[in-house]
Structure 1
């Protein structure tokens, strides 16, 4: 997933008082609590799942669902194949959230089950009694219209304005809101699916998709590679397909299909250079799905079909590092996966490192260095605001919502750690290490401790004079950045600094700044490093010369609108309102709501925009931002 921060609050865990629920209650150490934890974490224990894969482990899912756009429900069944890890295990525990469980059967015969009292963040444990010879169980259910992992859009909220749209978002623990399963990244499953839709709509999934399948309202899918639950994804809409290469293509509403295909036409090249450097692509095809603007993230790395925000279609390929990032997850995250959300940096740190390398290989060192500097500045901003406990790569998330893990720490700090390893042992040697690492742990979910052990057995043994266990421990288990950590630099930005300062000092006018050849990254650096307070004449001059309020680049517009909010620059507020109402990507809207909330007038403005936007926002976007507009 692309970078974002969420602030969500966990609640104590409660269980139903039935005999079966008491019998199958997860161990105490898996239960969140408001109190500070003094005991050591148990590596590999998933504190955000009720499931019991150490006793009974699900291996395959057979999903059969009908999408009811009138009720806003997915209705059907999930058949779970499982194997008993313990021979005497007689209960399967799966995760659910707000699901209406209709019945549970084994070989067509009803079996006993119990649903625990819901926890605000973790949902409810569904405990199922297993007959002795059973190896498969079927759960008939329906989702809630307010499922946290499903968004239903009206025709007015789409590009075409004629057909409704549905998409799911399962990371971190939202798969349980639309499928009853063992919702833990350490449990990898294959799946088949049968999806029924209105006939005018196409269904696509994180599985094998056939663009030539007739749009007849009846679709089947197969995912033969084992994946964790957070990578199960479904979208339904009026979608067309356009190929971009032998193994790459894009699904989108017809109105933006050509623009998306042109913007992301280098995806095949990205795929090829990544294979050449880090080993084979193991997922057959890599396609993109362009979602409506309400998608709360930049992208989601669902295997075979990354879900992508339309806000990165800039017309000049300036924001395609997001595509490189989601593609890189095909190696780090999808093929080798974090076992728990404590270990997210194994996904995102590795993927961010690979993203920079892919961008360098495809677009050159000049662009790579600019993007690395911007990433470093974003990391510094988080280090300046996050408490020390949240600056640790192997974060302790007990008693918290796992969505709290998403900040620049697992992304940029993780990538910086790998860059230091690269610089210490040499790029060619580090590339060889990564290729071997991806191959060694292919289709496995691993912990931070597993990675450290692997590092000790490989790079530390090969380069004992260049690497130390103490330094590695500091990077992974201590807050902040170690002294002497790599600092990215860009010559292009030196010129931007000079121009910005000359303008601020009054030595030159905005019209005298030679910006004609600036890239998006140079514009972002120019704006992001402005003083927080600017005068009205300065703001008017910048806007008049550079037409920033009307920028069609969503990242540049975001940076400028944040400046406008911090300085109460009212000529930009009409655009600001429209921006908040029509974009649901949290990276772009959350900082704006947060800044507006600092003044009573700004908060009133934010509340009005939020109330208009809310029907089109994803449930996660609502949860992240509603606190800024509450009285």
Structure 2
């Protein structure tokens, strides 16, 4: 064969090898990139192509126009992408800059759940993007309150609620929990008000109404939070304290005086608190949740101020999120149980450490009752009773129910009892430390669980059944409470003999009262309800939890005594906590009293945050 032909073949072979090596390298590179972020059905962003890393927020809070206006500037990184995509909903985008030069942006079609994709052209050299924008009157994350809707009734109030995908309604952002950002913010508010965020916060008002914030730890977008009002601060310890309106501050401070003990108990269980400060702001009663675990500043409802610390497990729950949720975060909302199941478990371990096993077990049994009710409610859609969900095309709020919280808790408690608490605690402590400031998928957790707990200790456990199958497996923890057994005896004697000794109930906890009321039999009479109300004045209870379960039973059993109808209406008009409100309106619906419910709802709806209003709209078929 001629020498030049041999050389041609060698060159061709070398060329093919080079192509193969380059191609294989590109494939491996693409595989590596594609695995960094999971597929996300609730965000338009494509973080594997281009992703935000740090936010500089500069905004003005205008109570007259009820708008937030300003700029969101991001440091970004890209994989040689030609555009970066952000999530927006009900925002007015004025103009966009890339590296301080105006660029032509585009907005995608509107999706009812997701809003619109904001597409910004970039190059491989682009380092920053800046969006000039303002919110609108449809913005769902914000609730603007008049002075009359606050505790002190002197000044207006504003708070945000970003979970699950509402941050995109007040900040244009890549609104997926697996995307973590640090942020700085400058917030301008009226000089009579104070601004606080999920960041390093002021303790006193500024004269000029300009506040600056820094969050140096990377957090998920749903945890970026803002509140503005005439509030004051009172420390509980050097790293815990309370923000609230003046008339609420002392009561809240007394109610939550065990906050430092809770932090210490939590650290003793699962390692250092990594957020420096743990403060709580008590919001007006329209706040839609019991609490929201915004890092460094938990948002809380005033409905947990009972005067006897009996509802402070909510504070333990939000504190626990500092590990499970904020430190190790569900990658997508299909993995929501990883946030909440772990947090309920951790919450009850904190409560046990501070207040004893009896208190923790009563809370656990009430949670189990909630789970049983939820399972019954989902009997026609059993797929929704799995821990790992498929919420594509649905609002992620659909997965925020007792399944994630209480089935998730029961799974972990059963696991703990199977392997032993000592081994389980070592496992959890290492889990939080190993995955700190990162996100977690269900599948990644299962792999970690198998390698670091089950296989290590040669334990067999039906993990896949718990996570991927409907309902609750048979090998579930058996939870008992002597206190609840005594409550059931008292109730049985009352039903059978129509008498009750008030001295027996004198020292009952909130949980015992809730168990007592929840277990009223179907055949309980109006006369018996009258006796209980006359004896214990349940209709006028200042404990919101007891009031809620009592109102539910009053509606269900058609009890109309002691002006209960007007009291229920006043409660629903004043309180916006979604759990309480939806429980009571559901009782109306299930009792074929939708007209009564709608009559109240038309009056109370304006006081609710969109999170609560959307739930009740769907429940009652209400349209404005």
Length-normalised TM-score, structure 2: 0.92
SS in 1 for 2:44: coil
Q: Which has the larger radius of gyration?
A: 2
Task: Write out per-residue CA displacement over residues 399-433 of structure 1, whole angstroms, 9 at most, x where no aligned residue.
Answer: 21111011111111111111111111111111111
Does residue 361 of structure 2 align to residue 369 of structure 1? yes
> Alpha-carbon deviation of 1:77?
0.6
In 1, the alpha carbon distance for the partners of 2:367 and 2:42 equals 29
Partner SS state of residue 60, structure 1 = strand
For the 8 Å contact 2:196–2:226, the answer to whether it is kept is yes
The counterpart of 2:390, out of the listed 393, 396, 402, is 396
Give the alignment partner of residue 261 of structure 2, picking from 256, 269, 275: 269
SS of the residue corresponding to residue 532 of structure 2 reads helix
**Partner residue, 1:211:** 203
1:328 counterpart (317, 320, 324): 320
Report the Cα offset of residue 511 of structure 1. 4.1
Q: Conserved in 2, the CA contact under 8 Å of 1:43 and 1:447?
A: no
Alpha-carbon distance between aligned partners in 1 of 2:383 and 2:615, rounded to the nearest angstrom = 21
Query: 1:168 Cα deviation (Å)?
Result: 0.3
Question: Partner residue of 1:19?
Answer: none
Q: Where in structure 2 are the equivalents of 1:180-329 lying within 5 Å?
A: 180-329=172-321
Q: CA deviation at 1:297?
A: 0.4
2:534 matched residue in structure 1:
544
Q: Helix, strand or coil: the match of 1:516?
A: coil
Q: 1:501 aligns with which of 466, 474, 492?
A: 492
For 2:182 and 2:621, locate their aligned partners in 1 and report how far apart those are by CA, in whole Å: 43
Matches within 5 A, 1:380-529: 380-386=372-378, 387-464=381-458, 466-468=459-461, 471-506=462-497, 508-511=498-501, 514-529=504-519
1:166 aligns with 2:166: no
The secondary structure found in structure 1 opposite 2:539 is coil
2:555 corresponds to: 565
The secondary structure found in structure 1 opposite 2:123 is coil
Is 2:612 aligned against 1:621?
yes
5 Å-filtered alignment, 1:589-608, equals 589-598=581-590, 602-608=593-599
The answer as to whether partners of 1:474 and 1:482 remain within 8 angstroms in 2 is: yes
CA contact (8 A) 1:300 1:307 kept: yes
Distance (whole Å) between structure 1 residues aligned to residue 174 and residue 99 of structure 2: 21
SS in structure 2 at match of 1:549: helix
Distance 2:267 2:570 in 1: 41
**Aligned twin of 1:53:** 47
RMSD: 1.4
Distance 1:157 1:183 in 2: 30
Does the Cα contact within 8 Å between 2:493 and 2:500 map onto a contact in 1?
no
Distance 2:262 2:439 in 1: 25
Q: Secondary structure at the match of 2:237?
A: coil
Contact 2:301–2:577 (CA under 8 A) maintained in structure 1? yes
Map of 2:72 onto structure 1: 78
2:342 to 318, 331, 350: 350
1:224-263, Cα deviation, whole Å (9 max, x unpaired): 0000000000000000000011210000000100000000
Shift in Å, 1:355: 0.5
Matched, 1:575 2:570: no
Tell me what 1:146 maps to: 138
Q: Is the Cα–Cα contact under 8 Å of residues 196 and 219 in structure 1 kept in the other structure?
A: yes
Between the aligned partners of 1:483 and 1:604, the Cα distance in structure 2 is 41
Match of 1:175 in 2: 167
Offset from partner CA, 1:280-307 (integer Å, 9 cap, x none): 1000100001000000000000000000
Deviation at 1:127, TM superposition (A): 0.5
**Alpha-carbon distance in structure 1 between the residues aligned to 2:611 and 2:552:** 22
Relative to structure 1, is the Cα distance of residues 433 and 228 closer, same or farther in structure 2, using a 3 angstrom cutoff? same
**1-side partners of 2:207 and 2:424: how far apart?**
47
Unaligned 5+ runs, structure 2: 1-35
Deviation at 1:458, TM superposition (A): 0.7
Report the more deviating stretch, 609-618 or 391-400.
609-618
| TM-superposed deviation, 1:534 | 2.4
Alpha-carbon distance in structure 1 between the residues aligned to 2:523 and 2:396? 35
Hey, what's the Cα distance between the residues in 2 that align with 1:473 and 1:627?
33
Aligned-pair CA distance for 1:484: 2.2
Q: Is the 8 A contact 2:100 2:129 kept in 1?
A: no
Residues of 2 paired with 1:52 and 1:629: CA distance?
37
User: Aligned-pair distance for 1:109?
Assistant: 1.7
Identify if the C-alpha distance between structure 1 residues 254 and 463 changes in structure 2 by more than 3 Å, giving closer, same or farther: same
1:500 and 1:215 map into 2 onto residues whose CA distance is 58
Residue in 1 that maps onto 2:18: none
Counterpart-to-counterpart distance in 2, 1:44 and 1:467 = 29
How many equivalent pairs are there? 583
Distance 2:522 2:164 in 1: 34
Offset, 1:213: 5.0
Give, in angstroms, the shift of residue 43 of structure 1: 9.2
* Greater relative contact order, per chain length (Cα 8 Å cut-off, separation 6+): 1
CA distance in 2, matches of 1:476, 1:545: 46
For 1:617 and 1:383, the matched residues in 2 are separated by 27
Are the structure 2 counterparts of residues 204 and 215 from structure 1 closer, same or farther at C-alpha, using a change threshold of 3 Å?
farther
Deviation at 1:513, TM superposition (A): 6.6
The residue number in structure 2 matching 1:67 is 61
Contact conserved, 1:66 with 1:196, CA < 8 A, in 2?
Answer: yes
- In the aligned structure 2, how far is the partner of 1:585 from the partner of 1:542? 26
| Alpha-carbon shift at residue 615 of structure 1 (Å) | 1.8
Q: Does the CA contact (< 8 Å) of 1:301 and 1:330 recur in 2?
A: yes
Q: Secondary structure at the match of 1:183?
A: coil
Q: Give the direction of change, closer, same or farther, for the CA distance of 1:270–1:208 in structure 2 (3 Å limit).
A: same
Unaligned runs of 5+ in 1: 1-41
Supply the distance in 2 between the matched residues of 1:107 and 1:436 (Cα, whole angstroms): 41
- What is the alpha-carbon distance in structure 1 between the residues aligned to residue 118 and residue 361 of structure 2? 49
